[in-house]
Amino acid sequence: MSRTGTSRREFLMAGAAGLAGAVLSPGRLVADPYAPLSDALARHAPVRVRGVVRAAGRGLPRVAVSDGLQVVETGTDGAFELVTTTDQDFVWFSVPSGYRLPVNPSGTARFYQPLSAAPEQAAEFDLEPDPASHENHTLVLLGDIQTQDQQEMEWFLEQAVPDVRQAVDGLGDEHVFGIACGDIMYDDLALYPAYESGVQRIGVPFFQVVGNHDLDRGSPTDEGSTETFIRHFGPRNYSFDRGAVHYVTLDDVFWYGSDYIGYLDSGTLTWLEQDLARVEPGAPVVVATHIPVLGSHYARRGENSPRAGSAIANRDVLYRLLEPFQAHVLVGHLHETEHLFGQGVHEHVAGAVCGAWWSGPICWDGAPNGYCLYQVRGEEVTWRYKATGRPASHQMRVYPPGADPEAPDDLLVNAWDWDPEWTVRWFADGAPRGAMERRRGPDPLSVQLHAGPDLPPRRPWVDPVPTDHLFRATLAGGEQVVTVEATDRFGRTYTEEWRRGR
């Protein structure tokens, strides 16, 4: 893919290097300039890894094995050989569909083996066939759990975890797994074991994505910033298959010593290109990462471009890599819900488990605290946002006239999982009145709970954020019962009522 004969890889690496220079020049690049750099300057010696991937005692052919930079395949006997270097942390394999996800004692997925400094190493991976079909499966996506202290961890364990467990139980024998989509912690990484206990209670294997609050912030380099994360959860970038879907998780948080930006480094892109080269064009590919690819948060706040920490700076490279596929990118970070379509990619911005940083029942765009359920049937991917503590049918909130002082005759609706394929209609006393008009603005409940210097009490810096999933209908004044009917892209219909005098 080149205009001048440059190879795809050369294009990707040149783009990554150029963007690195552009975005990393401002600010301090290290947290402590006097910190020892002996590890960073050490010579990286070669390491030869020989191993095998097996199931029921037999080798599995054509399984992808990686050190995070290169990808090799197992042979017909399941054996592989990979020459890496001592600066790589793991050798791991892409778990193929049809086999159970291996797990740590904590319930998190284990598909990797740490590497040592020994020049010759062995790696053996054993899988169990899964009698449950993976053609139909469900992904539970937890965005921004972000617990800062023991109190917030207890809220996660007492409120969110039982709700997720109930949703999982309701799926019966279906194959289910989870992804925590970054900001699992709020800087206190000593709470990781408590999160792991939540995973055990949910009872399905969980993968983890690096968030900007999951970092060792004392590190002077990006490489060192994930030491605690990888000690608990393994590689930062990896992939696996379930049914017809190829899943990828990426670390798009680049730590430069005193802060972070959204950025995919050259190693990540090198690996990703090789990983996706094994996927059939046209297949569904689901990428989970933390910082949005682009989002519209900046535009809704009147800014001309996204801030360095709220979008992937070198996103055009990701778009190009995902061009051949039915691509969904699942992100968190912004504590709001949104669906965007551009460059052939559907970007899902997930609402937060913690809402507006555990300050109350909603995110700052009015979406309730919650998580996402993605159901796969063959190559078809469907989804629904699930509000914690509410039924699955709770998909919108209706506000009476007067909720917005600037439009006192308007009835407002927040349909937080809206995308352009939805229809939102209203009926007055049983008579159809047509489609409601979409508008941009703050959610009235968010204004009530978050607006002002002293609100919300736990996080007074939280303010209402304008959203594009609000709808309005101007009332004449005599309506007694208004019914709002929202139908999503999958034909599921939700209704809510407003009655005058209530």
Average pLDDT, consecutive stretches of 10 residues, N- to C-terminus, the chain (502 residues) = 37 39 40 51 80 97 97 98 96 98 97 96 98 96 98 98 98 97 98 98 98 97 97 98 98 97 97 98 98 97 96 97 98 98 97 98 98 98 98 98 95 98 98 98 98 96 98 96 98 97 79
Return the closest-CA partner of residue 468 out of 416, 423, 404. 416
* CB of 370 closer than 8 Å to CB of 461: no
State the pairing for strand pair 64-66/71-73. Answer: antiparallel
Task: Return the sign of the alpha-carbon dihedral for residues 255, 257, 260, 263.
Answer: negative
Rounded Cα distance between 143 and 335, Å, is 8
Give the per-residue pLDDT at 502.
Answer: 74
| Backbone phi and psi for residue 156, each to the nearest 5 degrees, phi listed first | -60, -45
Rounded Cα distance between 36 and 89, Å, is 20
Rounded Cα distance between 329 and 135, Å, is 20
Strand order in the sheet with 431-435: 431-435, 423-428, 481-487, 493-499
Q: Answer whether the bond into residue 131 is a cis peptide, omega within 30°.
A: no
Task: Sort 396 into a burial class: Cβ within 10 Å, 0-12 / 13-18 / 19+.
Answer: buried
| Backbone phi and psi for residue 13, each to the nearest 5 degrees, phi listed first | -70, -40
- For 430, half-sphere exposure in the C-beta direction (CA atoms, 13 angstrom radius) is 0
SS3 59: strand
Enter the pTM of the model. Answer: 0.92
Which domains are seen in the chain, by residue range? 43-127 (2.60.40.10), 397-499 (2.60.40)
SS3 162: helix
Rounded Cα distance between 287 and 290, Å, is 10
- For 337, half-sphere exposure in the C-beta direction (CA atoms, 13 angstrom radius) is 31
Please report, as a single letter, which amino acid is at residue 492. R
Q: Answer whether the bond into residue 102 is a cis peptide, omega within 30°.
A: no
Q: Interior CA angle at 112 toward 108 and 113, to 5°?
A: 120
Rounded Cα distance between 211 and 149, Å, is 17
* CB of 298 closer than 8 Å to CB of 305: yes
**CB contact set of 391 (below 8 Å; sequence gap of 6+):** none
Q: Which two tokens stand for residue 188?
A: 């206190």
Q: What is the DSSP code (8-state) at residue 388?
A: T
